[in-house]
């Protein structure tokens, strides 16, 4: 079945919804999602969205700009960062007017709280910058944008799985998808396609990411010749529930929570004397694991405590209700009475599909644009996060650059004539036909597999090895061993066995395709980590522990070739803040 739309958006998270809302002003818009739209991973974002409103104390966009650059370990592109921080206030007020139920001050203003790496006066002290809706901020914004998209006539197609992206002659013509409920394959032909498919944290054993975060679209584009940028940088959040990885928002520390080790010490005072527990996430993760490595975990075990017992119960009840529920449900503890056992958990991808500030996908280090293809959100790399994302900047990234991509799409479609558009629809459908046949052959071959390997075993082994050798601490020897293991796992996937041979709601088939994408993405991450011989932000090489601005103040672009991955580089855009020592 073939569908024709002016704009097709893959992903119903915040970036996809905000882009859809903007693009709806020009032509018809389809949003395709693996899930029901309001089940997207954006709904799990807890703590807040950053903007220098100054509602609780003085703040300025330029301080936000500086914090983001410094937090990125100076790898973020400062032109893009300045746009994001400068547009933040407008974006928050716009969301408020759309109906987002932000928490309020006694005077009725949008409430703000402390968050990691947010400071005043260029780093002198913490500042309240995080706008929030209790600890369900992402949930509140997703539902609001979904309602607004419905009002604008955006068409939603839930439970569709992307099999391929139609690219021909440096132009994107649409996508090939599998309808999960029926097993049928569809062509979505479009003038413009936007990828907003989220992250890929499921390549790690312990993660806060949803099960759908497997990097499918990044892997597809990588296979199509689009490079992936800065893939060595993957952020671990300091406070995941021990043994589960479920996120405990940084807002818990923003409300006064502290990290303590097995001796009862507030150890972050040693690592970041000025802002302590509110240091950037990469620094806090390394501090936690250092404490554990040196034998100061709780009772000598591999976790520490997040202590909220001194925080007023009313504050916890009103501002942190979701984490209270998580702790009671999964750990059997009340955080107002008992400390929470936590460990770093894989959380956010700083790298991804290279784009310009309007979301146009870039094909190389020279900035060549892939026509008709855009990307925004966690799957994209514009690069506002550089080597380490500050808390609250993920939601801000999605709404600022989702909107910018939507506006660029709207302008592009508006420039086309009706006759030209109709012709392009036909061309797009024609280009999709061979890919459609290839997708059918791929699915048939997977369903016919009768090997000895089980998918779950291969996936678990991948996640275990990625967690062990490519997480917070890395070194060349272990990374090389990891890459060899990944390539062996790729060979083993050729000998898999699927118990379910049907086509309707065949989740085992989806798992098999996702596993191939996860292996693809994991190899790029590990290879990029070997290539960058320094430590910067979330990428910490124990065998190269110093930051090297002379050799490595540049972005990594990984290209797929017939043999090894090819790496190329492009400079970091530095406009105002020169690299400095990263002390907090």
281 noted as active-site residue: yes
- Residues 317, 318, 320: CA angle, nearest 5 degrees: 70
Catalytic residue among 18, 136, 281, 532, which? 281
Residues 6+ apart with CB under 8 A from 477: 543
Tell me the HSE value of 457 on the side-chain side, using a 13 A CA sphere: 10
The first and second tokens of residue 115, run together, are: 């968050």
**DSSP β-bridge partners for residue 253:** none
Could you identify the residue written with the tokens 């089940």?
Answer: 39
* Cα–Cα distance for residue pair 489/470, rounded to 1 Å: 16
- Least Cα distance to 409 among 145, 100, 192 occurs for 192
For 314, other C-beta atoms within 10 Å of its C-beta total 9
- Residues 176, 181, 185: CA angle, nearest 5 degrees: 25
* Cα–Cα distance for residue pair 11/17, rounded to 1 Å: 8
- Least Cα distance to 489 among 458, 521, 522, 457 occurs for 458
DSSP secondary structure string for all residues of 378-407: TTEE-SSSTTSPPTTHHHHHHHHHHHHHHH
Contact between 372 and 192 (Cβ < 8 Å): yes
What contacts 24+ positions apart, CB below 8 Å, involve 91-99?
91/51, 91/396, 91/399, 91/400, 91/403, 92/49, 92/51, 92/53, 92/131, 95/49, 95/141, 95/144, 95/399, 98/144, 98/145, 98/148, 99/144, 99/147, 99/148
Q: How far is CA 50 from CA 47, 58, 82, 270, 540, in A?
A: 10, 14, 13, 27, 26
Contact between 569 and 554 (Cβ < 8 Å): yes
Active site residues: 281
């Amino acid at each position: 079945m073939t569908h024709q739309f002016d704009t097709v958006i893959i992903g119903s998270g915040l970036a996809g919804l905000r882009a859809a809302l903007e693009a709806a002003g020009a032509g018809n818009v389809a949003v395709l999602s693996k899930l029901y739209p309001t089940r997207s991973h954006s709904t799990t974002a807890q703590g807040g969205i950053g903007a220098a409103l100054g509602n609780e104390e003085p703040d300025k966009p330029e301080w936000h700009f500086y914090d983001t650059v410094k937090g990125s370990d100076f790898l973020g592109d400062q032109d893009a960062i300045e746009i994001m921080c400068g547009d933040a206030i407008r974006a928050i007020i716009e969301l408020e007017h759309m109906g987002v139920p932000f928490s309020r001050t006694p005077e009725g203003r949008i409430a703000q709280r402390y968050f990691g790496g947010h400071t005043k006066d260029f780093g002198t002290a913490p500042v309240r910058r995080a706008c929030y809706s209790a600890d369900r901020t992402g949930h509140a914004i997703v539902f609001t944008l979904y309602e607004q998209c419905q009002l604008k006539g955006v068409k939603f197609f839930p439970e569709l799985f992307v099999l391929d992206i139609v690219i021909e002659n440096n132009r994107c013509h649409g996508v090939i998808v599998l309808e999960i409920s029926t097993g049928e394959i569809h062509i979505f032909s479009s003038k413009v396609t936007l990828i907003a498919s989220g992250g890929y944290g499921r390549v790690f054993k312990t993660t806060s990411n949803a099960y759908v975060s497997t990097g499918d679209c990044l892997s597809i584009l990588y296979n199509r010749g689009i490079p992936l940028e800065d893939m060595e940088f993957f952020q671990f959040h300091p406070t995941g529930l021990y043994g589960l990885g479920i996120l405990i928002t940084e807002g818990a520390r923003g409300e006064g929570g502290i990290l303590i080790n097995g001796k009862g010490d507030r150890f972050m005072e040693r690592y970041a004397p000025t802002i302590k527990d509110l240091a950037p996430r990469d620094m806090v993760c390394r501090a936690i694991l250092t404490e554990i490595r040196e034998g100061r975990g709780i009772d000598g075990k591999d976790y520490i405590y997040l202590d909220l017992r001194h925080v007023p119960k009313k504050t916890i009840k009103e501002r942190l209700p979701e984490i209270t529920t998580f702790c009671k449900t999964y750990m059997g503890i009340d955080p107002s009475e008992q400390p929470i056992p936590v460990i770093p958990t894989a959380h956010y991808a700083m790298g991804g599909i290279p784009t310009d500030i309007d979301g146009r996908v870039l094909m190389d280090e020279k900035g060549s644009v892939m026509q008709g293809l855009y990307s925004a959100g966690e799957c994209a790399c514009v690069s506002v996060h550089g080597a380490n994302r500050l808390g609250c900047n993920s939601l801000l990234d999605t709404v600022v650059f989702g909107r910018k991509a939507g506006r660029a799409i709207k302008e592009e479609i508006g420039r086309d004539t009706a006759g030209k558009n109709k012709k392009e629809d036909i061309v797009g459908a024609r280009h999709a036909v061979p890919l459609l046949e290839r997708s059918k052959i791929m699915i048939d071959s997977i369903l016919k597999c009768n090997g000895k390997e089980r998918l779950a075993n291969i996936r678990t082994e991948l996640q275990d090895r990625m967690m062990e050798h490519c997480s917070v601490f890395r070194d060349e020897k272990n990374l090389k061993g990891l890459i060899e293991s990944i390539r062996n796992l790729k060979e083993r996937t050729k000998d898999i066995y699927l118990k379910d041979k049907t086509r309707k709601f065949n989740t085992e088939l989806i798992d098999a395709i996702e596993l191939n994408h996860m292996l693809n993405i994991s190899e790029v991450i590990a290879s990029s980590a070997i290539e960058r011989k320094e430590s910067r932000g979330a990428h910490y090489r124990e065998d190269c522990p110093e930051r090297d601005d002379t050799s490595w103040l540049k972005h990594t672009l990984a290209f797929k070739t017939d043999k090894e991955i090819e790496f190329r580089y492009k400079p970091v855009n530095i406009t105002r803040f020169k690299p400095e020592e990263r002390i907090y």
